[in-house]
């Protein structure tokens, strides 16, 4: 009972953290898109895409490995101090090398040198974010620490953006504000470390045992980075900042939708690692089933809703100048559905079970497919080609990862009862199309509000009618709280 309560609390806190990481930047993005226009937001997106490669070089993919290893020894302060200290030392060395490589690259590439000020300002995010060791707090399930600090800084970032970003020349200033809002929580993490670690002396030779698994994680993380950012970088080189700005708008919406689901399911990873290490296979499978149900209840309807109302959402969030991103946004919503499954198979099954080689092989092969498809389709179809290449790549990832955990896939498919969710989704889509004529002449905000109410209301009512387990639990919990009031 206590375990379930702590998991629910962690889910709520991590969802609050993720919502703050997405909602506040989305508010500011809606504002700056109209101030900086697609060219200005395209410059920011281009620099962020390049910096992502160096950020992954600094992090070395340590997050997943460190969370797993620290979760296994989190009840022993000394062992936790040793393991976390060794991994953190490796990360500090990698961060220094990454920052040096970034400086050399910016000076050597003319396209990067033209954005030298933006790289200098936004490049500070690399040491700030990697040295804040969020993986330690995740392994300890201290999500409240992460959430509260992040929310406060994001709120301050919104205020600073509205106060100081006034013209399309304020691109670097906006970049500095984004670095500030993400970097301050990491600095605060450092001040809290003595509560959890004792900082023993770590000899260099003690780092050797971590290098091989970290290298495997790094390869997979690097491949994911190459796949996720290659399309944006290539659009910048071949199509210009305007097309990058359009694609970045669609990616923003995709990030909001996907991260809401990942926020809930990612808190299960430390607990899953514990169950796998302790041989508690039944509890492990139950958590996986809960994670999949969360995706079906949250991500499935949200992705379909955004795809149906893609035009209206882009109008509200970004303005008329971004309507050419509608096809890309629809395709990226399909990617969200596939990504929720690959996240389950990779991060919640293969990695906790120590099968990271299979995960690395999937993303390595996927990277090759993604690069080839982008080279073929971006010159011809621009943002639509980039989005379709991403979808095909994620479908390959789903197949390859699923082949590595067939037993768990069969168990989840047998227990899920997918027809419940498909019936609810069909009813919700039908409801929206029936109301389409009545809402067609409404103002866009009102049309979205009516569409959201009818779509999600119908979806959850059908889930309750079909006695979907997670929805029943949520209803019982809500009625219990109302009864106490």
478 class by beta-carbon count within 10 Å (0-12 exposed, 13-18 middle, 19+ buried): exposed
Integer Cα distance of 153 and 182 in angstroms:
8
- Whether residue 485 is predicted with pLDDT greater than 60 in this model: the reply is no
Q: Specify the residue for token string 């009512």.
A: 461
Final residue belonging to a domain, choices 416, 438, 459 = 416
Distance CA 438, CA 46 (A): 41
Q: Check whether residue 35 and residue 141 sit in a common domain.
A: yes
Residue 370 CB coordination number (10 Å): 25
Asked if residue 484 has pLDDT above 60, the reply is no
Neighbour-count burial for 302-324, b at 16+ CB within 10 Å, e otherwise: bbbbbbbbbebbbbebbeebbeb
Report the number of distinct structural domains present in the chain. 2
* CA dist list (Å): 124 to 26, 36, 160: 22, 22, 18
Residues 6+ apart with CB under 8 A from 360: 216, 217, 219, 220, 223
As a whole number, the mean pLDDT across the chain is: 80
316 in the same domain as 200:
yes
Whether residues 455 and 349 share a domain: the answer is no
Verify that 10 and 115 share a domain, yes or no.
yes
Q: What is the C-alpha to C-alpha distance for residues 370 and 393, in angstroms, rounded to an integer?
A: 6
State which of 367, 386, 416 marks the end of a domain: 416
Domain boundary among 390, 416, 442: 416
Most confident of 150-154, 158-162, 424-428: 424-428
> Hey, is 351 helix, strand or coil?
coil
Of the candidates 186, 291, 179, 219, the one whose C-alpha atom is nearest the C-alpha of residue 57 is 219
The C-alpha atoms of residue 146 and residue 143 are separated, in whole angstroms, by 5
DSSP at 13: H
| Same domain flag for 363 and 303 | yes
CB of 260 closer than 8 Å to CB of 302: yes
Helix, strand, coil shares of the chain, percent, nearest 5, are 90, 0, 10
Read off the pLDDT band of 1 (50, 70, 90).
very low
Listed residue (469, 461, 451, 428) closest to 301, CA to CA: 428
End-to-end CA distance of the chain: 22
Q: How far is CA 397 from CA 200, 220, 330, in A?
A: 40, 12, 20
Judgement on whether residues 381 and 440 belong to the same structural domain of the protein: no
Least confident of 192-206, 257-271, 450-464: 257-271
Same domain, residue pair 374 and 457: no
Q: Is 402 helix (H, G, I), strand (E, B) or coil?
A: helix
Residues 393 and 473 in one domain: no
Calpha distance 229→224 (Å, rounded): 8
The encoded tokens of residue 274 equal 């514990």
Q: For residue 124, give the 3-state DSSP assignment.
A: coil
DSSP state of 187: H
Contacts of residue 159, Cβ cutoff 8 Å, sequence gap at least 6: none
Angle at 457 between CA 454 and CA 459, to 5 degrees: 105
Query: In b/e form, how buried is each residue of 21-54, taking b as 16+ CB within 10 angstroms?
Result: bbebbbbbbeebbebbbbebbbbbbbbbbbbbbb
pLDDT tens track for 419-475 = 999 999 999 999 988 887 777 778 888 888 888 899 999 999 999 998 888 888 777
Mean pLDDT, to the nearest integer, of 244-260? 77
Asked whether residue 330 falls in the same domain as residue 471, the answer is no
> Which of these, 329, 359, 130, lies nearest to 367 by C-alpha position?
359
Helical segments of 123-166, H only? 125-130, 134-139, 143-164
pLDDT of 218: 75
pLDDT tens string 269-278: 666 666 766 6
Task: Give the integer Cα–Cα distance in Å for 394 and 382.
Answer: 19
Distance CA 370, CA 409 (A): 25
Quote the CA–CA distance of 320 and 444 in Å, as a whole number.
12
What pLDDT, on a 0 to 100 scale, did the predictor assign at position 270? 64
What angle, 0 to 180 degrees and rounded to 10, lies between the N-to-C axes of helices 208-238 and 77-108? 30
Higher pLDDT pick, 139 / 1:
139
Cβ atoms of residues 187 and 150 within 8 Å: no
For residues 226 and 135, give the distance between their C-alpha atoms in angstroms, rounded to a whole number.
22
pLDDT exceeds cutoff 70 at 268: no
Instruction: Please determine, for residue 72, whether its predicted confidence score (pLDDT) is greater than 80.
Output: no
CA distance 34 to 160: 16
pLDDT for 227 beyond 90: no
Matching residue, tokens 């004529």: 437
Tell me: the pLDDT tens digits for 371-428? 888 888 888 888 888 888 889 988 998 999 888 888 888 988 888 888 999 999 999 9
Domain span including residue 470: 420-485
Mean pLDDT, residues 40-48: 81
pLDDT at 5: 46
Least confident of 151-165, 184-198, 258-272, 284-298: 258-272
Select from 268, 223, 191, 242 the least CA-distant residue to 365.
223
The tokens for 266 are: 């990612």
Pair (442, 334) in one structural domain: no
Is the confidence at residue 2, as pLDDT, over 60? no
d(CA 270, CA 262): 14
Q: Does residue 318 share a domain with residue 398? A: yes
Verify that 333 and 476 share a domain, yes or no. Answer: no
């Amino acid at each position: 009972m206590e375990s379930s309560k702590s998991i629910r609390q962690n889910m709520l806190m991590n969802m609050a953290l993720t919502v703050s990481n997405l909602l506040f930047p989305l508010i500011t993005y809606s504002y700056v898109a109209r101030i900086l226009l697609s060219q200005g937001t395209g410059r920011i997106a281009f620099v962020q895409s390049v910096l992502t490669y160096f950020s992954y070089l600094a992090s070395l993919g340590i997050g997943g490995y460190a969370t797993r290893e620290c979760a296994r020894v989190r009840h022993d302060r000394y062992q936790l101090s040793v393991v976390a200290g060794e991994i953190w030392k490796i990360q500090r060395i990698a961060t220094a090398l990454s920052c040096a490589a970034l400086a050399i690259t910016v000076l050597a590439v003319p396209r990067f040198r033209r954005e030298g000020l933006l790289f200098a300002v936004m490049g500070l995010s690399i040491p700030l974010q990697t040295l804040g060791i969020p993986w330690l707090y995740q392994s300890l399930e201290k999500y409240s620490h992460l959430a509260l600090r992040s929310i406060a800084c994001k709120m301050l970032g919104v205020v600073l953006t509205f106060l100081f970003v006034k013209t399309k020349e304020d691109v670097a200033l906006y970049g500095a504000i984004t670095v500030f809002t993400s970097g301050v929580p990491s600095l605060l993490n450092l001040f809290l470390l003595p509560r959890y670690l004792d900082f023993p002396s770590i000899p260099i030779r003690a780092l050797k045992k971590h290098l091989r698994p970290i290298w495997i994680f790094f390869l997979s993380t690097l491949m994911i980075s190459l796949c996720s950012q290659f399309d944006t970088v290539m659009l910048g080189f071949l199509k210009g900042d305007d097309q990058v700005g359009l694609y970045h708008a669609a990616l923003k919406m995709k990030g909001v939708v996907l991260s809401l689901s990942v926020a809930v399911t990612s808190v299960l990873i430390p607990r899953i690692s514990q169950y796998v290490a302790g041989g508690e296979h039944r509890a492990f499978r139950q958590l996986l089933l809960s994670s999949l149900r969360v995706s079906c209840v949250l991500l499935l309807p949200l992705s379909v809703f955004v795809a149906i109302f893609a035009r209206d959402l882009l109008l509200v969030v970004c303005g008329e100048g971004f309507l050419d991103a509608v096809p890309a946004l629809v395709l990226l919503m399909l990617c969200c559905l596939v990504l929720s499954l690959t996240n389950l198979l990779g991060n919640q099954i293969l990695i906790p079970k120590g099968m990271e080689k299979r995960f690395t092989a999937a993303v390595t092969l996927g990277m090759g497919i993604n690069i080839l498809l982008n080279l073929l389709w971006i010159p011809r179809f621009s943002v639509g080609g980039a989005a379709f290449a991403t979808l095909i790549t994620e479908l390959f990832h789903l197949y390859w990862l699923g082949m590595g955990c067939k037993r768990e896939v069969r168990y989840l498919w047998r227990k899920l009862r997918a027809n419940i969710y498909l019936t609810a989704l069909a009813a919700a889509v039908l409801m929206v199309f029936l109301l389409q004529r009545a809402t067609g002449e409404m103002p866009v905000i009102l049309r979205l509000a009516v569409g959201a109410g009818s779509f999600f209301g119908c979806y959850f009512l059908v889930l309750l009618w079909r006695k979907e387990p997670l929805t029943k639990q949520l209803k019982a919990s809500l009625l219990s709280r109302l009864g106490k009031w």
